[in-house]
Amino acid sequence: MAAMSVTDALAGTSILFIGNSFTYADSSPVRFYRAGTVTDMNGEGIGGVPALFKSFAQQTGIDYDVFLETRLGAGLDYHLERKLGVIGRRGWDKVVMHGFSLLDEDKPRDPAKLIATTKQMADFLRARNPKVEVYLMATFSRADQMYPRTGAWAGEPIEAMARDVRAAYDQAAKGAEAKMVIPVGEAWTRAMQAGVADPNPYDGIEPGKLNLWAHDNYHASAYGNYLQALVIFGSITGRDPRSLGENECSAFELGFERPEVKALQQVAFDQLAGTGAVTAGPLVPPKEADPVRCVRP
């Protein structure tokens, strides 16, 4: 279990997110959300999923110093080739990172590059801080790779891509001695199987279901990014995502309805509880969201 330590709560533990548009929430209002609460090391004014994570942590009294280093369409090979000067400016306490969504842009579905570059990045991070905790984020199935005939997973069930991606990250985690693989893709699949989210945006969104993808059927929508951030939050802190409550501030600011928030938090909990990453925690009694408390900084 990835339980939060006392020092996490008191010492301003540093956490760096290394990724691409899946981290900075391209094609979603989350992209520039609460950008002032995190440090974009490329100076592009990004908030993204790291800012959602920061918001969740603040609401539960955890003091994380959150940083991000992201690049559109980049795998870890890009960050290794061009961004080590940025990433190596300090030793990090925790790092959450992921590669390209197809595993390899040039050879879709091939895990070799992810496995190799994950180890290289982990070795670099440990050279700066031997105690750094490395988390790998297994990304979600892309609808544009499942339903169109040109997709790398064309004709396969929606869960197939997330399953293959997770298997690749498990291999990468073993080679890099990562602390944990964060099951974002599996949480998306669970949301669809539970009837919370629609599995196929190409044939329309069923009434009462959420679309986890943005308009391009590639990136995450605000709902997809919110679920992603919940799973990361639970994985890093060991906290029950449901303890944030139906009136969680970021959901309020993004315009979500309370039943939507409750459903997404439940999916995140169910995914993490299944592996013992979190245990049931006290739920926040329902109360009206406070516009003053939740106002953007």
Please check the confidence at residue 6 and state whether its pLDDT lies above 70. no
pLDDT 10s digits, 166-200: 999 999 999 999 999 999 999 999 999 999 999 99
**Strands (DSSP E) found in the chain:** 13-19, 39-40, 64-70, 94-97, 133-137, 180-182
Structure token pair of residue 283: 């739920």
Domain count, the chain: 1
Which amino acid, 200?
Answer: N
What's the pLDDT score for residue 293?
53
Q: Please, which pLDDT band fits residue 12 given cuts at 50, 70 and 90?
A: confident
Please check the confidence at residue 296 and state whether its pLDDT lies above 70. no
Mean pLDDT of the chain: 92
What's the pLDDT score for residue 1?
42
Instruction: Using a pLDDT cut of 70, give the percent of the chain over it.
Output: 91
Task: Name the one residue in this structure whose structure tokens are 């990136």.
Answer: 219
Q: For residue 63, what is the domain's CATH number? A: 3.40.50.1110
Which amino acid, 242?
Answer: R
Please check the confidence at residue 160 and state whether its pLDDT lies above 80. yes
What's the pLDDT score for residue 32?
97
Higher local confidence (pLDDT), 11 or 42: 42
Q: What is the CA radius of gyration of the chain?
A: 18
288 in a structural domain: no
CA 258 – CA 121 distance, rounded (Å)? 40
What's the pLDDT score for residue 10?
42
What's the pLDDT score for residue 81?
98
161 in a structural domain: yes
pLDDT 10s digits, 13-40: 999 999 999 999 999 999 999 999 999 9
Task: Give mean pLDDT, residues 79-97.
Answer: 97
Please check the confidence at residue 5 and state whether its pLDDT lies above 50. no
Order of strands across the sheet that contains 133-137: 39-40, 64-70, 13-19, 94-97, 133-137, 180-182
96 in a structural domain: yes
* Residues with Cβ within 8 Å of residue 207, at least 6 apart in sequence: none
63 in a structural domain: yes
292 in a structural domain: no
Burial readout 220-232 (b: 16 or more C-beta within 10 A, e: otherwise): bbbbbbbbbbbbb
pLDDT 10s digits, 258-290: 999 999 999 999 999 988 888 887 654 444 445
What's the pLDDT score for residue 149?
97
287 in a structural domain: no
Handedness of CA 93, 296, 272, 162 (dihedral sign): negative
What's the pLDDT score for residue 11?
55
285 in a structural domain: no
Structure token pair of residue 48: 């993204």
Residue 134 is part of which domain span? 6-273
59 in a structural domain: yes
What's the pLDDT score for residue 106?
96
